[in-house]
Structures are given as C-alpha cells and as structure tokens.
C-alpha cells in the first residue's frame, strides 16, 4: 500500500511554526490581562498616590481589572475553541485552566478586601458596617457578593483534597455554578467600575470580551455538538469484542466524509441513555478517516466503560470534537516511533494506518500484559505487514525498576532501559515519538527517553485517562 497522505510537511521550519503559533497564543492570553492594567495606569490610576485610601483604591481597581481578564481567559481555556484547541490540545488547556483557578480566587479576594476597606475608610466606619452598607444599599453589590461566595465554593470543591472526597457528579454540578457566579458579578462592574466608567472604550472593550467569551462557550461547548449530532443522527452501529475486556464500537452516521478528523484525535462521546447522557467521555478514534464508520475501542475499567461494553446498537450518540494534537500536524521528523500500552493502542492503531511513511520509516512498540489482552494487535500486525512498519509486541509482567518495560529474562545479562529502547526502535533519535498509555507507564517511559536527550518538540503524549 502506498503512503496515504503523500504531501505531508516536515522539517525545522514546521517545528518553528508550531512553536511560534503556540507562543503567540500564550502571549495573547498574557496581553489580555496586561492591557486593562495599562489602561488603568495611563488613565492616571497610579499617579499622585498619597494616602492609604488612594493606594487601596488603586489595588481595588487593578485587582478588579486583572480578575475580570483572568476570569475570561479562564473560561476561554475550557470553551473548546477550535483555533486554540488545535494548537495546544484539550488536555493541556484543561491543565492550564486548573492551574489558573487558585490565582484567580486570590485576585478576587484581594479585590473584595480592598473594596470593603476603601469604603470603610471613606465613610469612617468599621469593616463590618462597610460590608453591610455596600450590600444593603447597592443591589449590584449583593449580587456580586453572592457570585464571589459561589466562586469560593467552586474553587474549594476543585482542590485535589476535596476532589478525592466528592463524586464526579457532585463536583460537576457545583462547577456548573461558576457560570452563574460570572453572571452575578457582571452588573456591579458596569455600575461601579470607575475605570470602566471613566473610559468608555475600556468598558466597550470588556463588553466585547464578555460577548466573545459567551458566544464561544455557548456555541463550541454546548450548542454545536448537540446540533451537529442530532442533525446527523449519530448512533451506535455495531459492537464487537476486540480482545479480552475491550470492545470496538462503530458510530452509524459517520460514513466516509460525513465527519472529519485526523488520526490520533479523540471525541467527547455522550451515550444518550438515562444514566449517561449528562456526562461526555473522551475516546480516541481507533481507525482513520478513510476506513468507513468512525470506531472507538474501549477497555472495561470502571462504571461507564463497563456499561458501554453492553450498549445496544441504535443507541443515540452525541459527538463533540474532534479534539487533540496527537496527530501528524505536530510531526516534524522523517521517522516515527509509536509506543502504546494497554487500551492506549486505539489512537496508535489509527496513526499507524494514516501517518505518511515509506516502508521502514515507522516503528511500533506495543506493551500489553499478555498477547490475549492486546486489543487490536491483529490489526496492527496486518497494517505493519502491508505498509512495511517494524512492530514489537512487548508482553510479560512489569519490570520493577523500569515499569514501562516487561521484566527481562534472568538468563541473559540485563540491559539498560535506554539501550533496550534504542535496540527496539533504532531510529528513535530522528523520529517523532507518539506515546499513549496510562500515566505511571508514560512517566516511566519519559524517564527513559530523558536519558536519550530527545528534544521535547519530538515527543507527543496522549493520556487516555484524564
């Protein structure tokens, strides 16, 4: 079989372009936060500060502007906007969203504290009466206070200690409250924001930013997936066992050309049953776009993945996506090494079929406990035979020191992990490496790769459980 995508771009120029695009977007995020601060300073916000109260006022206004900007960036990060998602991938964006949560709360805390103190000082009253005064006389302030308290609840429920104690369902419901919190906080900004009011173009800018964020969240996060899935009528096509404890499910309504995705990408899948409709789950396509209906291969390892093994053909499906940058779009080297463990094989199987490669360009390492448990192994061997890929199935119990490898037989002298890797995949230094498997396995593999000093831009990781 000839290579499927003949005109694939590779090389240093492409790597730099990918890097520049990612940096440009990161800088755009930083600029969004910086710009209002510049406007505040240029308006004379920090000029002629003499009293404590004026300093309070500056802190109050600055934290309000910074808090609003961070909040909007925070929302955009999880709005699943294609032009951002296609650069970073959904998992990185979710990670950034998580890291931004606490700093955002601190800025909002500073804003609340300084506004109460400023008002107390201005009116010569104590802090408590100042809070009462603000909340009792200005309805917008009452709304903002409620929004702020909701925000604290949302953040508290998301710190890892709390996440371990409450169920996903409860956390999810609490997290929905954050949208309400944002809406409650809007009126007081436009009623009292002195920086807003003194600079009409600044309030116009923020209004535009709010509307932009709202439209992105509403369309990309909620409406589009539902509308597209219902107009196209996606449903479960066939359910087939593919090895021990895993099934391959095809989606009817995704016949050739009806849905576009690149190999290595995933969809957020909602199974429209009473039990599961509210919560989407991420699954990578386990075939490529040219192979008929979209197919997912799902291992059984929990409530939902257990239930879906028995899903009935014809069940309605809502698809959101495709997402992810675990694709040829991030490739810059002529050779490729694909490394999978367990059910992480799904996107690897898809990439093995689609990536541009001459015979010998592509090496596949597939780690499974036993040959029986290796889902899709027969398909991988078939593709490798047709396209001339090298493939190694690594089976056996886990090695104690290097958990990503199977235990080495005692008869021969044990080899260093990185030498073993270089032996299995001789072109690894000149290749883009695509890794998909459980987190502990991935971390162990990354350690070995670190010993070979392979640049980060060549390593692409997809965690299938996040």
Partner 1 sequence: MRKSTAIVASLVAASSLAVALRIGELSTLNAIEVPIPGPTGSSLGPTPGVSPTPEVTQPSTQSPVAPQPTQAPVVTTFESDVISYKYGDVQISLTKTDGLISAVNVLIGDATNGRDEAYLILIAATIEAQGTNYGNVSGATFTTDAFKLAVENVLAKF
Q: Which residues bind partner 1 (CB under 8 A)?
A: 19, 22-23, 26-27, 30, 34, 37-39, 41-51, 53, 122-123
Do 189 and 138 meet the contact criterion of CB atoms below 8 Å apart?
no
Q: Closer to partner 1 by CB, 115 or 265: give it.
A: 115
Q: Give the Cα separation of 101 and 105 in Å (integer).
A: 6
Least Å distance between CB 118 and partner 1?
Answer: 10
Q: Closer to partner 1 by CB, 46 or 135: give it.
A: 46
Three-class SS of residue 128?
helix
From the number of C-beta atoms within 10 Å of its C-beta (0-12, 13-18, 19+), residue 51 rates as: exposed
Least Å distance between CB 124 and partner 1?
Answer: 9
Least Å distance between CB 27 and partner 1?
Answer: 6
Three-class SS of residue 241?
strand
Least Å distance between CB 76 and partner 1?
Answer: 18
Q: Closer to partner 1 by CB, 19 or 222: give it.
A: 19
Q: Could you please report the per-residue DSSP string of 396-444? A: SSBPSSSTTSBPPPSSSPP--HHHHHHHHSTTGGGEEEEEEE-HHHHHH
Q: Closer to partner 1 by CB, 50 or 231: give it.
A: 50
Least Å distance between CB 53 and partner 1?
Answer: 7
Q: Closer to partner 1 by CB, 50 or 167: give it.
A: 50
How many Cβ atoms from other residues are within 10 Å of residue 85's Cβ? 20
Least Å distance between CB 453 and partner 1?
Answer: 18
Q: Give the Cα separation of 434 and 424 in Å (integer).
A: 15
Q: Closer to partner 1 by CB, 97 or 387: give it.
A: 97
Q: Closer to partner 1 by CB, 15 or 387: give it.
A: 15
Closest CA to 36 of 2, 12, 71: 71
Closest CA to 363 of 466, 308, 435, 258: 435
Do 246 and 375 meet the contact criterion of CB atoms below 8 Å apart?
yes
Least Å distance between CB 54 and partner 1?
Answer: 9
Closest CA to 255 of 280, 287, 283, 281: 287
DSSP bridge pairs for 393: 366
How many Cβ atoms from other residues are within 10 Å of residue 302's Cβ? 10
């Amino acid at each position: 079989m000839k290579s499927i995508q003949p005109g694939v771009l590779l090389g240093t120029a492409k790597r730099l372009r990918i890097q520049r695009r990612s940096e440009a977007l990161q800088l755009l995020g930083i600029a969004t936060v910086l710009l209002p601060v510049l406007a505040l300073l240029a308006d004379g916000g920090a000029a002629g500060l003499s009293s404590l109260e004026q300093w309070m006022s500056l802190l109050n206004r600055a934290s309000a502007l910074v808090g609003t900007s961070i909040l909007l960036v925070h929302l955009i990060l999880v709005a699943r906007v294609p032009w951002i998602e296609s650069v970073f991938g959904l998992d990185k964006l979710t990670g950034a969203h998580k890291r931004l949560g606490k700093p955002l709360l601190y800025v909002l805390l500073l804003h609340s504290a300084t506004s109460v103190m400023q008002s107390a000082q201005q009116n010569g009253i104590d802090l408590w009466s100042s809070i009462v005064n603000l909340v009792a006389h200005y309805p917008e302030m009452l709304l903002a206070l409620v929004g702020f308290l909701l925000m604290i609840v949302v953040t508290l429920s998301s710190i890892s200690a709390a996440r371990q104690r409450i169920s996903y369902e409860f956390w999810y419901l609490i997290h929905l409250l954050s949208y309400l919190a944002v809406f409650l906080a809007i009126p007081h900004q436009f009623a009292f924001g002195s920086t807003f009011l003194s600079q009409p173009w600044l309030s116009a800018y923020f209004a535009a930013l709010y509307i932009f964020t709202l439209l992105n969240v509403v369309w990309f996060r909620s409406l589009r997936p539902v509308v597209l899935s219902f107009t196209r009528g996606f449903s479960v096509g066939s359910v087939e066992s593919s090895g021990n404890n895993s099934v391959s499910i095809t989606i009817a309504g995704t016949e050739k050309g009806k849905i576009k995705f690149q190999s290595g990408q995933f969809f957020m899948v909602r199974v429209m049953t009473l039990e599961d409709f509210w919560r989407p789950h991420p699954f990578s396509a386990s075939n490529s776009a040219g192979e008929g209906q979209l197919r997912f291969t799902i291992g059984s390892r929990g409530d939902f993945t257990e239930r879906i093994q028995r899903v009935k053909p014809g069940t309605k499906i809502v698809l959101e996506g495709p997402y992810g940058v675990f694709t040829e779009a991030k490739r810059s080297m002529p050779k490729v090494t694909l490394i999978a463990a367990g059910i992480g094989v799904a996107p690897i199987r898809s990439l093995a079929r689609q990536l541009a490669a001459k015979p010998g360009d592509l090496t596949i390492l597939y780690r499974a406990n036993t040959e029986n448990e290796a889902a899709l192994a027969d398909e991988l061997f078939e593709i490798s035979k047709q396209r001339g890929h090298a493939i190694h199935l690594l089976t056996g119990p886990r090695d104690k020191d290097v958990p990503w490898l199977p235990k080495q037989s005692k008869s021969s002298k044990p080899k260093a992990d990185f030498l073993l890797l270089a032996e299995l995949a001789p072109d690894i230094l000149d290749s883009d490496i695509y890794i998909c498997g459980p987190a502990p396995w991935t971390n162990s593999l990354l350690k070995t790769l670190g010993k070979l000093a392979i640049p980060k831009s060549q390593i692409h990781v997809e965690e299938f459980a996040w």
